[in-house]
Structure 1
Amino acid sequence: MAKFSANLGFLWAELPLPAAIRAAHAAGFDAVECHFPYEVDPEEVRATLLDTGLPMLGLNTAPGDLTAGEFGLAALPHRRAAARAAIDQAIGYAVATDTANIHVMAGKADGAEARAAFVENLRYGCTRAAAHGLTLLIEPINSHDVPGYFLTTLDQAVEIIAEVGADNLKLMFDCYHVARMGDDVIAGLAQYAPLIGHVQFAGVPSRGRPDVGELDYHRVFAHLDQAGYSAPLGAEYKPEGTSETSLGWLDLFQD
């Protein structure tokens, strides 16, 4: 039976992070993950996680200046210092909250210089993270939702993971983004299974609840179960209405 992690970047996003963790626990989730928790005292987050018994599976590096159009820093050649500061910040927060994974956001860029910057910053981050037993993740993000994002395809991500050459760099496989790029989700999960560090999902193409849309998650979750994938799957979808009223899918996929 599948286990699920509530992504608190979208679910219960209106609540302070500790309250959102408690809401996810009350709803029956097995874990939580978040986007950018840095304004919240990590000790308060850690205490809430210990109290609820939920693990925090992942968090993102800071996205940079959103008002200037930034959406990640690691592939921006002119933002090397800021990118590494964001990686250091994420590692510090992950250590303080016992969070296992850090998604290093590439940002909006293209070309050889961007790729070189991304690889160099990932090598820096992997070395720093390894000292704490942490895993870094990179995630292809579809070009419809975030035009200009550097990392958009599974093949591109796999090539970069090979070039970085670090055991603690893995693939964040977001079924929604993969499907929106026109790729076969189950084929991708099968092909890249050894490189996958975390799986996320949402309905396609709306990015709403997973039981609505073009992608059959009964098949996706059955494939993962048969393949022996037992880690909680990240529910990173945008609820219509309240988070609580969007959770009918949980019973459908936990039977």
Structure 2
Amino acid sequence: MLLFSANLGFLFTDLSLPEAVGAAARAGFDAVELHWPHVGPAAIPADELKSAAAEAGLPILALNTARGDAAAGDFGLSALAGREREARAAIDAALAYASACGAGAVHLMAGKAEGPEAHAAFLANLRHALASARPQGLRILLEPINTFDVPGYFVSTVDRALALIEETGGEAELLLDCYHVARMGGDPATVLAEAFPKIGHIQIAGVPDRGEPDQGALAYPPLLDGLQRLGYAGHIGAEYRPRLSGAGGTEAGLTWLAAFRRGRGAG
């Protein structure tokens, strides 16, 4: 049986974060993952989130490093040459919060950049993240993000992410979002099979509108069957935008969850 995680950056957003954790448990999810619970006016203390997760009986899988100045268009800092001090502070803050709330991993957000200086900055910041995460028992994830949603994002392809992982000793892991792979023209099933040894987490959403995963052009049941054959034992993150907003919007679109958990063959 497959395990599914609710990404609370997109799901149950009409609730406070502790309430959303409980709602995810009641809906049948096996874990939660987060965007930026430690950043901005909506930030909550790590111990409060940890308590909510413990009460719900759900592990916290991962959270992101800060975007930076979102109003100015920042979408991560680690590849931005000249902003290394800010990037390191964001890494350290995310790791400290992850450790305090009991999360297992941090996604290192690269930001919008290109060229040799961006490459050097990202490698240096990735090495810093790995060295800081290691003694805390935390994992570092790299996610390729498509350039339709985030034009100019430094880590936009699986090949680039894998090359960066290799350049820094192979310790970081791939966060593979099937939605982003498909939007960049790739075949998620093929990529999952080829990159499987480096995958630390998987996410899903409908293509191309990033709605519920049982809608759109990408058929997930055969892909999930393939994951089972590969022996994938991790969680699959539901990181999509519910078509219905407001109270009850997430729950109304969750008919996919039970069917996806069983896999295609269960009917």
User: What TM-score do you get using the length of structure 2 for normalisation?
Assistant: 0.94
Q: Hey, what does 2:15 align to over in structure 1? A: 15
CA distance in 2, matches of 1:171, 1:153: 11
Root-mean-square deviation (CA), in Å?
Answer: 0.8
Mind listing any 5+ residue stretches in structure 1 that lack a counterpart? Answer: none
Give the alignment partner of residue 80 of structure 2, picking from 76, 80, 88: 76
1:252 aligns with 2:259: yes
Give the alignment partner of residue 212 of structure 1, picking from 211, 215, 219: 215
1:109-120 correspondence runs (5 A):
109-120=113-124
CA distance in 2, matches of 1:139, 1:248: 27
Alpha carbons 1:126, 1:166 under 8 Å: kept: no
Q: CA deviation at 1:254?
A: 2.3
State the percentage of identical aligned residues.
51
CA distance in 2, matches of 1:225, 1:106: 31
Mind listing any 5+ residue stretches in structure 2 that lack a counterpart? Answer: 263-267
Q: CA deviation at 1:13?
A: 1.5
Q: CA deviation at 1:251?
A: 2.1
1:1-255 correspondence runs (5 A):
1-38=1-38, 39-167=43-171, 169-241=172-244, 242-255=249-262
Deviation by residue 1:211-250 (Cα, 9 ceiling, x = unmatched): 1111110011111111000211000000011001010111
Deviation by residue 1:172-197 (Cα, 9 ceiling, x = unmatched): 00000000000111111111111101
CA distance in 2, matches of 1:240, 1:66: 24
Deviation by residue 1:149-205 (Cα, 9 ceiling, x = unmatched): 1111011111100001152x1000000000000011111111111110100000010
**One-letter identity of the residue aligned with 2:260:** F
CA distance in 2, matches of 1:166, 1:194: 11
CA distance in 1, matches of 2:35, 2:124: 23
Alpha carbons 1:76, 1:109 under 8 Å: kept: yes
Alpha carbons 2:10, 2:242 under 8 Å: kept: yes
CA distance in 2, matches of 1:15, 1:107: 28
CA distance in 2, matches of 1:89, 1:82: 11
Alpha carbons 2:64, 2:109 under 8 Å: kept: yes
CA distance in 2, matches of 1:254, 1:184: 21
Q: Hey, what does 2:265 align to over in structure 1? A: none
Q: CA deviation at 1:79?
A: 1.0
Q: CA deviation at 1:52?
A: 1.1
CA distance in 2, matches of 1:185, 1:28: 25
CA distance in 2, matches of 1:33, 1:152: 21
CA distance in 1, matches of 2:89, 2:223: 37
1:50 is paired with a residue of what secondary structure?
Answer: helix
Alpha carbons 2:4, 2:261 under 8 Å: kept: no
Q: How many pairs does the alignment contain?
A: 254
2:241 is paired with a residue of what secondary structure?
Answer: coil
2:215 is paired with a residue of what secondary structure?
Answer: coil
CA distance in 2, matches of 1:220, 1:13: 28
CA distance in 2, matches of 1:194, 1:181: 21
1:171 is paired with a residue of what secondary structure?
Answer: strand
* Runs ≥4 residues deviating over 6 A: none
1:102 is paired with a residue of what secondary structure?
Answer: strand
